[in-house]
Each structure stands twice: as structure tokens, then as C-alpha cells.
Amino acid sequence: MFERNKKEDHSESQEFGSSEPDKTFGATRKSKPRKSDGLATIGRSIQISGDLRGDEDLRIEGDVSGTVELRNNALTIGKEGMVHADVYARSIAVDGETRGDLYATERVSVHVNARVQGNIISPRVSIEEGAHFKGSIEMDQAAVEKVLGKPAPEQKAKPEAAKAAAQKSAKETSSNLNPPAGTA
Amino acid sequence: MTVSLRRALSEDQLDTSQALHAPLFQNVLVKLDPSERSVLLDLGAASTAMLALFSESRCCVEIADVAHFGGCDRLNSAEPGPGLFDIAEALLPERVTSDPVDIVFCWDLPNYLSLPALKALMQAIGRRSRGGTIAHALIYYAERNMPKYPGRFVPTEDRKLENHALPGELVSAPRYSPEDLTDNMSGFAIDRARLLGNGMQEFLFRF
């Protein structure tokens, strides 16, 4: 069903069973986004009806209806792509047509000649001139975070806060093996 | 490019390429408090410039792009009555918030609607507005003619307005009077009006 532009990296398949499902979109995720050598593509002759989930970046050139969930990854809807679905991803770029709400923890980009009908909830939104959009764009950071959860530390937190969070995480991970180090 | 485009305009075409100084539009922007949450309804097309303008504010922007999605024809061809109101409501975007709309950007769309169509559209907008909601509109008034299709107004860095619609055929403008608008804006009353340099009348309405 999926085409691959390049060979799949089978070494990553070990990660599938280990990632836990997120409870809040973008807020409490623990799994890291998978990166494959090539971009998975749904070709223009493919039609999918139902829930589409994955853990790698995806390009859609075919027709998809239902729900698309690539919560930690990037989704591109190509010029030939038609998506009638609510979409959840880390970033969403639209060159084709969508009907449904677009949720992205990082960014939504609507490119020239794209046709988008639905709402956009994302901290960063760009719509190129020549694109056609009908819907609502939530730009209030508080309202966005209410829906998407707070940005993950690795994305937005200040370096000091990220460092402290990493140290705390490391302490918790190693706490069963080593006694806590004394404060210097 | 701009120069050659301007030269190519014949005498029966309006020059819409000049940035338009629209003081009431600027007035609306000045009054927008970035620390307060605001809901904006844009009846025109989405533009990066408009989004950039509001990116520092706590805004929810609802974009209808009425003209592109066939709204003018559907509204103008429908018989007045409940059906017309339903069409108008369907042209507005689905809502992600229950907060009422604070500002409506009509641009030049009212010129392209019959008065019953305008009434129905503003009635639908009124359903998602609050007391004090402001509507901004540009009405062809001094000129007898106007472009065949609604403009695509984009704010510049100095908050003027550029019409990015391609120049084309002209049609006669309805030249709605303040009385026409008062009777057909469905509860939006004229608050302020200014005659602009290009002959358009700029209006602020208050619900």
C-alpha cells in the first residue's frame, strides 16, 4: 500500500513495540520521532478510507478520508493529494486539498494553490498568497496549548530548563541503580 | 513589472495597484489590544500578511473567503427568506471557539452582494457577534465602475492596503448609499465613514 522512495531501514523496526501512546497530543510524548532513510508516500492512485497512523514522515498524493495521525512526524499533502480527514502531526504542509481540521504541534504551511477547508490549530501557521483557505486559525498561544498540550521540552523550553529537565530525568532513570549524589 | 502593469491599464480600468491609506482600518488595528483575546472574522482571502499582523496578538482568525468559495453567486441567486440565511450561514467558517466575534473585515465584498444577500450575510454574522462588534467595509462610491470580482486586500508593513487582485474587466458599481447600508447591515449601524483617495468610502459599523 505504501511506496518507498528508498529502502526501509529495518533496524528501526525494533522501536515499534517500545513507544507508548501519548495521552495528550504533543504534551507528554515520550517516544522520539522516527527518521527513515526515505519518505513514505501514498501514491496518487491509492485511496484510503479509515484511520491512518504512523511513526514516520509521510507524503500523501492519493485520496485519504478518515483520520490521519502522525503525531511526532511531518506530513506533506502533495499537489495531487486529497485528504478528507482530521490530521494530527508534528508539522503539516499542504500543496493539495484538505477538508478537516489540521492539528500540528510545530507548524502548518499552506502553499500556493492549496485548498484547505477546516480549522488550523498550531503555534505557527503560514498561508501563501494564492492558497485558498476557509476555516478558523487559532493564534492564541494559550488556546493552542489547551488543545495541543504544552510544547515538549526539546522543542521550546529554554536551554537551562531543558538541561534541568534532562538532569532530573537522568536522576529518575538511574535512581534504582545509584544512590542520589550529594549536593555539592 | 509594476510599471509595465500600470502602463498596460486602459482608461476604462481602475488602478488598484496603489497602496491605499485607509485610516479607519488603521484605527481598528490600533485599538486591538495584543494582551486581550480577540476573535476576527475575515470575509476575504487569507494572506500571510494578515496573519503576520495578528501573530503577536491573542487572536482567533476566522477566514471565510466568501468570493472564492462561490459565495457571491450563491447568495445573489437565492430568493430572500430562510433559505438565503442558511446559505449565508454555511458560507461562514465553522467555529473553534464560542467567543463572539470582535472585528469583521468585509473589505469590498458588500459591493458584490445584492442588498437582500448582504442583509442575510450580516444577519448570520450578527449571530456570532456581541454588542460592540466592529465591521469594516470599503464601498465603491465616487466611481461609477468597479472591478468585476472582489479585491484581495493585503496590509502593507505601514498598515496601508494593497489590492492584489489582478486588474480586469469593470462592471457598474451599486454605489450603496449610507441609507442602503443602514437598512441592510442587520443590526450593524454606521459608526464612522471616510472618503478615501481612490474614491471608495471606508466605513466602520458597530453591532
Residue B106 placed within a domain:
yes
Q: Which residue of A has its CA nearest to B64?
A: A134
Specify the pLDDT at position B69. 82
| CATH number of the structural domain spanning residue B35 | 3.40.50.150
Specify the pLDDT at position B15. 52
Q: CB-CB: which of B48, B54, B95 is closest to A127?
A: B48
Q: What is the pTM of this model?
A: 0.78
- Say which residue, B3 or A36, is predicted with more confidence: A36
Residues B60-89 have pLDDT tens digits of 999 999 998 889 999 999 999 899 999 999
pLDDT at position B6 over 80:
no
Identify from A133, A141, A147, A148 which residue to disrupt to test chain B contact, counting B C-beta atoms within 10 A and taking the largest count: A133
Residue B157 placed within a domain:
no
Residue B165 placed within a domain:
no
Residue B74 placed within a domain:
yes
Q: How far is B45 from chain A (nearest CA, A)?
A: 7
Q: Is the complex ipTM more than 0.95?
A: no
Specify the pLDDT at position B16. 55
Is there a contact between B60 and A140 if contact means CB atoms under 8 Å apart?
Answer: yes
Residue B58 placed within a domain:
yes
Is there a contact between A136 and B93 if contact means CB atoms under 8 Å apart?
Answer: yes
Residues B172-193 have pLDDT tens digits of 999 999 999 999 999 999 999 9
The number of folded domains in chain B is 1
Specify the pLDDT at position A55. 93
Mean predicted confidence (pLDDT) in B107-124: 97
Is there a contact between A137 and B97 if contact means CB atoms under 8 Å apart?
Answer: no
Q: Which residues of chain A have pLDDT under 70?
A: 1-37, 151-184
Residue B148 placed within a domain:
no
Residue B101 placed within a domain:
yes
Q: How far is B159 from chain A (nearest CA, A)?
A: 18
Residue B169 placed within a domain:
no
Domain that holds residue B124: 2-11+21-142+175-206
Specify the pLDDT at position A25. 59
Identify from B39, B42, B61 which residue to disrupt to test chain A contact, counting A C-beta atoms within 10 A and taking the largest count: B61
Chain A contacts to B (CB-CB under 8 A): 101, 110, 118-119, 121, 125-129, 131-143
Q: Which residue of B has its CA nearest to A127?
A: B48
DSSP for chain A, written as a single string: --EESS---GGGGGGTTTPPPPSSTTTS--SPPP--SS-EEE-TT-EEEEEEE-SS-EEE-SEEEEEEEEEEEEEEE-TT-EEEEEEEEEEEEESSEEES-EEEEEEEEE-TT-EEES-EE-S-EEE-BTBEEEEEEE--HHHHHHHH-SPPHHHHS-HHHHHHHHHHHHHHHHTTTSPPPPP-
